[in-house]
Amino acid sequence: MPPVAARQLWDEVDLLIGIGSRLEMPYLNWANKFMQYEQKPSGGPKLLRIDIDPAQMDIFQPDQAVVADSAQACRLILEQLETAAEPDHKRLDDIATAKAVAWQAIQKVQPQLSYLNVIRQVLPRDGIYVPEVSQMGFATWIGGFPVLQPRSFIEGGYQGNLGYGFATALGAKVANPDRPVVSVCGDGGFMFGAQELITAAEHNIALVTLVFNNSTYTNVRRDQLLGYGGRFSGSEITSPDFVRMAESCGVEAWRVDSPAALKPVLEKALAADRPVLIEVMSERGSEASPWEFIHMHQRLGHSAAQQ
């Protein structure tokens, strides 16, 4: 379930089952006076954790620990539930409503959601999507990119590890040569490993890379604008011409400036069977902030739920 939808149901949850997760989103980003991200939850629902690593249970202690392979453990739990209880149809309706309300609410995060919608339309179900620490990446944190198949979304978690995306996506493509792989980076994050364009060209690693170029470390600039009166330092950067850079490395490249323009170019790139870079141009400060949906201390308003 997308995290914004899950937050709508959080206050009525009796039992939370964490499956292979450190549970940072609920216990850090949804924290209230009863909950902080500490060694053991001091409030909130009962917590059952499933993890194959027993050390995780000491780092963040649940009410009930299950050290097991997640697939096996979940299968056993599902078998018990199927024999123990009838489906709660009202709860299923509540979940569907929460998803609809959340999806509508996050549409304000533009143009990121429109670009993600195009990528989701073009990328096959088994295609692998690798985001970066960027405004596009943060939009996936809030559920802006529906994941339709296991092992098709490779994310760095909430560690803020800028620069991992492009190199990770190259590895994903090498490991899955018959599946389409799309890497989506900001200009700042991409420059941590841009030289690997040469590697992609030399070994014909048919990765499609989208670089969103707004010549900015956007989160840093936004903080400096809101908290420091617009005294910018190191947040407004000079980005290269990524099309010419890619071509100089032997990688085919195109430039677009809107979701509508991206769609046919992305379709062509995925069909090319060779490394391709697409530079997506945007203005500084043009992206709406997703952070109100990441640090959600309260549910979306009742008025939104009634619409």
Same domain, 95 and 200: no
What is the structure's pLDDT at 70?
94
pLDDT above 60: residue 10: yes
Same domain, 78 and 161: no
For the stretch 161-183, pLDDT in tens is: 889 999 999 999 999 999 999 99
Same domain, 51 and 190: no
**What number is the average pLDDT over the span 60-76?**
95
pLDDT above 70: residue 93: yes
User: What is the end-to-end Cα distance of the chain in Å, rounded?
Assistant: 21
Name which residue leads in pLDDT, 33 or 272: 272
Unique residue bearing structure tokens 């945007």: 282
Same domain, 134 and 210: yes
Which residue, among 240, 250, 241, has the nearest Cα to 276 in the 3D structure? 250
Same domain, 76 and 114: no
Compute φ and ψ for 277, nearest 5 degrees.
-120, 135
What is the structure's pLDDT at 306?
41
Host domain of residue 196: 110-289
Query: How far apart are the C-alpha atoms of 53 and 21, rounded to whole Å?
Result: 11
Same domain, 162 and 238: yes
Query: How far apart are the C-alpha atoms of 136 and 288, rounded to whole Å?
Result: 10
Same domain, 152 and 191: yes
Unique residue bearing structure tokens 């292979």: 20
Same domain, 18 and 79: yes
What is the structure's pLDDT at 298?
77
Query: How far apart are the C-alpha atoms of 113 and 259, rounded to whole Å?
Result: 9
Query: How far apart are the C-alpha atoms of 211 and 218, rounded to whole Å?
Result: 14
Q: Output the DSSP codes for the chain.
A: --HHHHHHHHTT-SEEEEES---HIIIIIT--TT--SSSS-SSSSEEEEEES-THHHHHS--SEEEES-HHHHHHHHHHHHHHH----HHHHHHHHHHHHHHHHHGGGSTTHHHHHHHHHHHS-TT-EEE--SSHHHHHHHTT-S---STT-B---TTS--TT-HHHHHHHHHHH-TTS-EEEEEEHHHHTTSTTHHHHHHHTT---EEEEEE-SB-HHHHHHHHHHSTT--SS-B-----HHHHHHHTT-EEEEE-SHHHHHHHHHHHHHS-S-EEEEEE--TT-SPP-HHHHS--SPPPHHHHH-
For the stretch 15-45, pLDDT in tens is: 999 999 888 888 877 766 555 667 887 778 8
165-192 residues labelled b (16+ CB within 10 A) or e (exposed) = bbebbbebbeeeeeebbbbbbbbbbbbb
pLDDT above 80: residue 252: yes
CATH number at residue 145: 3.40.50.970
Answer whether 156's CB lies under 8 Å from 166's CB: no
Same domain, 130 and 271: yes
Mean model confidence pLDDT for the chain: 90
pLDDT above 50: residue 186: yes
pLDDT above 60: residue 47: yes
Same domain, 119 and 98: no
> End of a domain among 86, 105, 124?
105
Query: How far apart are the C-alpha atoms of 253 and 275, rounded to whole Å?
Result: 9
* Both tokens assigned to 204: 């014909």
> End of a domain among 105, 130, 147?
105
For the stretch 294-306, pLDDT in tens is: 888 777 864 344 4
Pairing of strands 276-281, 208-213: parallel
Query: How far apart are the C-alpha atoms of 256 and 269, rounded to whole Å?
Result: 13
Answer whether 37's CB lies under 8 Å from 28's CB: yes
What is the structure's pLDDT at 302?
46
User: Above pLDDT 90, what percent of the chain?
Assistant: 71
For the stretch 95-127, pLDDT in tens is: 999 999 999 999 999 999 999 999 999 999 999
Query: How far apart are the C-alpha atoms of 285 and 67, rounded to whole Å?
Result: 45
Amino acid identity of residue 227, one-letter, is G
What is the structure's pLDDT at 269?
98
CATH number at residue 26: 3.40.50.1220
Stated pTM of the model: 0.88
What is the structure's pLDDT at 307?
40
